[in-house]
Chain A
Amino acid sequence: MNVWPILSALRRNPMGAILIVLQIALTVAIVCNALFIVQQQTRLISRPSGVDEASLFSFYNLWGSNTTDYKSRVQVDLSALRALPDVEDAIATTGLPLRGGGYHYPVAISPVQTKDNPEASVYLTDQHGLNALGLQLAAGRWFHSDEIHDMDSDHDNPESAPMAVLTDALAQRLFPQGNALGKAIYLGKSPATVVGIVKRMQAARISTSSQTAEYAVLVPFLWEAPASLYVVRAKPGRRDAAIQAAQLALSQISRSRSIANVQGFDETRSEAYRPYRATAIILACVGLLLISVTGLGIVGLTSYWVSQRKRQIGIRRALGARRIDILHYFHTENLLVVGCGAIIGVILANLANTMIVEHFEMDRLPQIYIVAGAVIVLGLGQLSVLWPAWRAARISPAVATQAN
């Protein structure tokens, strides 16, 4: 099909075409940036935490009166929890993946700290930790009961741990040759021997970088303090029953405590990722609305063109153009205009992304998203022009003979 008549028609009345080009360009720029952010947030939200998410729940335990003997209290609590029929295992600690809390240390492989040491979450755990969290041991071993030291708020110093278990991600980062077992890591001045490696466990704070998300160290301490986080793993399928039973059992042991923020792990996860999910949903909605508004805009403007050019179309028909020719005409015209918009949109999308990367510390948009955005609008354009073009094709050649 010859495009010259189309171009000359566009040149005679360029405003409508300019508007469509502008609209398409902006739509491409916005939609592919939005799509990319949605995809990034979705990937972030769906990362596994490494713990047994289906059976885990956790809550804060706060002792009311000024007692000093927290050690025996915590031990009584833990053995009571572990004895419950619905409970698989339990630990007392300070932090949990996605729930926050705990310690954060730069981890080094020599006593000399440098600035680029990776920062990791440090979790306290006793010999039950592996089972209570539902972690998978990838290499080495877990802590034995005689290796667990006491830690309370006055002796609050996980740096002194003589041994540690690392996540696979952190082990690979610290020892790229892959032989972390038996090596020493440094949270402070003293070395801790790596005795085991777990396959996966996320840091307590959400990290937007997938690289550092699983930097975690487990150290053998029993946390004995006025406030602690109890993490309980229920028997498969018995979580809700275990939540009830655990609270009842603890309040029977002592009433001078308060139990706060009981959360199943699913709740912990959804609370932690709420802002990310919200961003994704809002952007997806904006993107969808945008595509529909642009589509409707094309329908509107093309219909308007058709009604304006009714007479010319009639004349063409009278001169022998078939319906399919008229259809072709409008589809080609749309392809040209939308294609123009898409090209400008690709440039705009890159500009917008450069700005977003510079000012908002976000990742660079891969070109595939821009191509996808351009293809989407080209398809959208063809789809939107279907109905107006069909109406144009229905114009009778007799129109040519009518006076205005």
Chain B
Amino acid sequence: MLTYYLKIAFAGFRRNMALSLLTVLTVAIGIGGAMSTFTIYHVMSGDPIPGKSGKLFVPQFDSIGPQAREKTDEPPDLLSYRDVLALMRAPAGEQHAAMYPTRMTVTPPNPSLSQLAVSARATQPAFFRMFDTPFQSGAPWSDAEEAARARVVVLSARTAERLFSNQDAVGKTVTLNGQDYRVAGVLKPWNPTPRFYDLSGDALAQSEGVYLPFATAIDRQMDSNGHTECDVAPAPGAGWQGMLNSNCVWLQYWVQLPDAAAVTRYNAFLSQYATEQQRSGRFSWLPMTRLRDVRQWMRYKQVIPNELRVVVLLGFGFLLVCMVNAVGLMLARLNGRTADLGVRRALGATKGDILIQCVIEAAFVGLLGGLAGLSLTVAGAAAERAIVAQSLARITHIDNMLVLITLTLAVASTICAGLYPAWRASRTPPAMQLRAR
């Protein structure tokens, strides 16, 4: 039966080629316009760490007070060093990693090459376990090495390739900031999009080139090149120790909590800690804490800018207009075919049969429009890559999911647009058509 309907649909398409093609074109333009704006949204709203995004949490704690806070009713995004030390003593069983971004200079093994700057992240070994970073070779440094402030590093695939070409870098030595570090592991290319673990700058920034132990970086007094916020800046001359003792926030901190019970426990621990700190006279404002998982964190940090949401909204408004247009075109198309619909009715087809036939024809047109729209989307996305920020251009691509969404959207919306014309067509009276001819 379906093949018969498809045959009729195909015949109907050929019968009024110009109008049919125009309908397909309208659908294609609408789909292309809407999906071109949607591609960016699609990547940015993706889950950067599927399966674990509900288990990784950012604890927030207000150590800088209402004067220095960026938002009146939210604690700062980052933590101070002393609070990180305190949070690390949380009830056992949870994994946690403190971290901050810094920059290092690399002296290449080949002395004729000039020094290069790499972005680095000072963090703890749990970083690699919590975020499931894939290793090409080697492994993270051990907890013992972390505690001993060992000079070990994990390199990104790109940095390893730049420094050691195709050789295995594990066990080799790299000179960072003028000191020798042993390479403990090399990552496979790893770029979670958005870069959920550090959303303070460009959410689409690439992952760092070098990872080194947190304790080592603190010990070597490496500055953060991220944000720092203070209520009262450390006195001039207080130096590094002054910074560590201050309430200034500059560290990111992530914990992994396996289930809801653990989340409740951790929340209780967090607010208890905040209350204790206030009671001890460290600050006078009301204690304020938050605990957000990856998804909530991305929403809170507005990873998807409002402008983009508006653009997507207008893109889909555009699709709607094209579909209204398609309704008109399909009405005109079916109107030219009342004769053969009348003949079918006279030969015994029920109203339902005609309705189904017309809907299948609409689906057929929608599929063609979707395929054409897909190529327009590809072209649109390519054009967008030329004008959007580089970090965005790098990640904008058409994946299978997007192809599926495009085609489904095309067929579904064309069927919706085709419902009214199909209903009108199904009411074609049989006798009148026979009489007219």
Interface string of B299-325 (1 = CB under 8 A from A): 000000111111101110110111011
Whether the pair A293, B388 counts as a contact (CB closer than 8 A) is: no
Q: Tell me whether A286 and B325 are in contact in the complex, defined as CB-CB below 8 angstroms, given that A258-B115, A278-B389, A279-B307 are known contacts.
A: no
With an 8 A cutoff between CB atoms, is A62 at the interface?
A: yes
B332 contacts across to A, CB distance below 8 A: 300-301, 304
B384 contacts across to A, CB distance below 8 A: 278, 282
With an 8 A cutoff between CB atoms, is B66 at the interface?
A: yes
With an 8 A cutoff between CB atoms, is B136 at the interface?
A: no
Q: Tell me whether A19 and B314 are in contact in the complex, defined as CB-CB below 8 angstroms, given that A156-B233, A251-B114 are known contacts.
A: no
Complex CA gap A121/B424 in Å reads: 65
Give the interface segment out of A138-146, A236-244, A356-364: A356-364
Q: Tell me whether A286 and B29 are in contact in the complex, defined as CB-CB below 8 angstroms, given that A154-B239, A301-B332 are known contacts.
A: no
* Contact residues on B (Cβ < 8 Å of other chain), bracket: 35 or more
Q: Tell me whether A160 and B223 are in contact in the complex, defined as CB-CB below 8 angstroms, given that A258-B117, A289-B33, A297-B328 are known contacts.
A: no
| B122 shortest CB reach to chain A, Å | 15
With an 8 A cutoff between CB atoms, is B116 at the interface?
A: yes
Complex CA gap A65/B115 in Å reads: 11
Whether the pair A274, B389 counts as a contact (CB closer than 8 A) is: yes
Complex CA gap A347/B424 in Å reads: 30
Whether the pair B306, A115 counts as a contact (CB closer than 8 A) is: no
B116 contacts across to A, CB distance below 8 A: 258, 260
Of A20, A189, A281, A404, the residue contacting B387 (CB under 8 A) is A281
With an 8 A cutoff between CB atoms, is B409 at the interface?
A: no
Q: Tell me whether A115 and B29 are in contact in the complex, defined as CB-CB below 8 angstroms, given that A154-B237, A275-B388 are known contacts.
A: no
Q: Tell me whether A274 and B387 are in contact in the complex, defined as CB-CB below 8 angstroms, given that A157-B234, A255-B115, A258-B116 are known contacts.
A: yes
With an 8 A cutoff between CB atoms, is A11 at the interface?
A: no
B306 contacts across to A, CB distance below 8 A: 359-362
With an 8 A cutoff between CB atoms, is A29 at the interface?
A: yes
With an 8 A cutoff between CB atoms, is A54 at the interface?
A: no
Give the interface segment out of A30-38, A176-184, A319-327: A30-38
Q: Tell me whether A113 and B67 are in contact in the complex, defined as CB-CB below 8 angstroms, given that A157-B233, A258-B116 are known contacts.
A: yes
With an 8 A cutoff between CB atoms, is B411 at the interface?
A: no
Q: Tell me whether A19 and B388 are in contact in the complex, defined as CB-CB below 8 angstroms, given that A30-B317, A33-B314 are known contacts.
A: no
Whether the pair A257, B115 counts as a contact (CB closer than 8 A) is: yes
Whether the pair B307, A155 counts as a contact (CB closer than 8 A) is: no
With an 8 A cutoff between CB atoms, is B357 at the interface?
A: no
B72 contacts across to A, CB distance below 8 A: 115
Whether the pair A60, B37 counts as a contact (CB closer than 8 A) is: no
Whether the pair B314, A65 counts as a contact (CB closer than 8 A) is: no
| B330 shortest CB reach to chain A, Å | 10
B128 contacts across to A, CB distance below 8 A: none
Whether the pair B325, A294 counts as a contact (CB closer than 8 A) is: yes
Interface string of B186-226 (1 = CB under 8 A from A): 00000000000000000000000000000000000001010
Complex CA gap A396/B370 in Å reads: 42
With an 8 A cutoff between CB atoms, is A128 at the interface?
A: no
Whether the pair A62, B33 counts as a contact (CB closer than 8 A) is: no
| A230 shortest CB reach to chain B, Å | 13
Q: Tell me whether A300 and B22 are in contact in the complex, defined as CB-CB below 8 angstroms, given that A258-B114, A289-B29 are known contacts.
A: yes
B420 contacts across to A, CB distance below 8 A: 15
Whether the pair B328, A227 counts as a contact (CB closer than 8 A) is: no
Complex CA gap A404/B339 in Å reads: 14
Whether the pair B307, A260 counts as a contact (CB closer than 8 A) is: no
Q: Tell me whether A65 and B178 are in contact in the complex, defined as CB-CB below 8 angstroms, given that A154-B239, A293-B322 are known contacts.
A: yes
| B219 shortest CB reach to chain A, Å | 13
Complex CA gap A352/B316 in Å reads: 13
B201 nearest CB neighbor, chain A only: A100
Whether the pair A283, B311 counts as a contact (CB closer than 8 A) is: yes
Q: Tell me whether A19 and B317 are in contact in the complex, defined as CB-CB below 8 angstroms, given that A64-B177, A361-B306 are known contacts.
A: no
Of A189, A227, A290, the residue contacting B321 (CB under 8 A) is A290
* Contact residues on A (Cβ < 8 Å of other chain), bracket: 35 or more
With an 8 A cutoff between CB atoms, is B107 at the interface?
A: yes
With an 8 A cutoff between CB atoms, is B273 at the interface?
A: no
Whether the pair B37, A286 counts as a contact (CB closer than 8 A) is: yes
Q: Tell me whether A188 and B232 are in contact in the complex, defined as CB-CB below 8 angstroms, given that A16-B328, A362-B306 are known contacts.
A: yes
Q: Tell me whether A283 and B314 are in contact in the complex, defined as CB-CB below 8 angstroms, given that A22-B324, A157-B233, A301-B328 are known contacts.
A: yes
Complex CA gap A256/B387 in Å reads: 37
Whether the pair B311, A279 counts as a contact (CB closer than 8 A) is: yes
Complex CA gap A225/B324 in Å reads: 62
| A365 shortest CB reach to chain B, Å | 12
B19-76 residues at the A interface, CB under 8 angstroms? 22, 26, 29-30, 33, 36-37, 66-67, 72
A250-280 residues at the B interface, CB under 8 angstroms? 251, 255-258, 260, 271, 274-279
Whether the pair B314, A277 counts as a contact (CB closer than 8 A) is: no
With an 8 A cutoff between CB atoms, is B166 at the interface?
A: no
Whether the pair B325, A290 counts as a contact (CB closer than 8 A) is: no
A16 nearest CB neighbor, chain B only: B328
Of A66, A188, A293, the residue contacting B179 (CB under 8 A) is A66
A362 contacts across to B, CB distance below 8 A: 306-307, 310
Interface string of A279-308 (1 = CB under 8 A from B): 101110010011001101100110010001
| A288 shortest CB reach to chain B, Å | 11
| B217 shortest CB reach to chain A, Å | 13
B436 contacts across to A, CB distance below 8 A: 404
Q: Tell me whether A275 and B233 are in contact in the complex, defined as CB-CB below 8 angstroms, given that A26-B324, A226-B223, A289-B318 are known contacts.
A: no
A188-207 residues at the B interface, CB under 8 angstroms? 188-189
| B208 shortest CB reach to chain A, Å | 14
Whether the pair B322, A300 counts as a contact (CB closer than 8 A) is: no
With an 8 A cutoff between CB atoms, is B103 at the interface?
A: yes
| A285 shortest CB reach to chain B, Å | 8
A361 contacts across to B, CB distance below 8 A: 306
Whether the pair B331, A293 counts as a contact (CB closer than 8 A) is: no
| B300 shortest CB reach to chain A, Å | 15
With an 8 A cutoff between CB atoms, is B160 at the interface?
A: no
Complex CA gap A258/B114 in Å reads: 7
| B427 shortest CB reach to chain A, Å | 13
Complex CA gap A297/B23 in Å reads: 10
Q: Tell me whether A278 and B387 are in contact in the complex, defined as CB-CB below 8 angstroms, given that A160-B236, A301-B332 are known contacts.
A: yes
| A380 shortest CB reach to chain B, Å | 13
Complex CA gap A153/B237 in Å reads: 10
Whether the pair B310, A356 counts as a contact (CB closer than 8 A) is: yes
With an 8 A cutoff between CB atoms, is A27 at the interface?
A: yes
Of B317, B331, B387, B389, the residue contacting A26 (CB under 8 A) is B317
Whether the pair A188, B117 counts as a contact (CB closer than 8 A) is: no
With an 8 A cutoff between CB atoms, is A382 at the interface?
A: no
Contacts beyond the supplied A258-B114, A294-B321, A362-B307: 13 A-B pairs with Cβ under 8 Å: A19-B325, A30-B318, A62-B115, A227-B225, A256-B105, A275-B305, A279-B308, A282-B37, A286-B33, A293-B325, A297-B26, A297-B329, A304-B332
| 26 A-B residue pairs with CB within 8 Å | A19-B327, A23-B325, A26-B320, A64-B115, A66-B179, A115-B66, A156-B234, A157-B234, A157-B235, A188-B232, A189-B232, A251-B114, A258-B117, A260-B116, A271-B389, A274-B390, A275-B388, A282-B37, A282-B384, A286-B311, A290-B318, A290-B321, A293-B26, A293-B322, A301-B332, A304-B328
The 9 closest A-B pairs by CB, nearest first: A65-B178, A360-B306, A64-B105, A297-B325, A258-B115, A154-B239, A304-B332, A258-B117, A260-B117
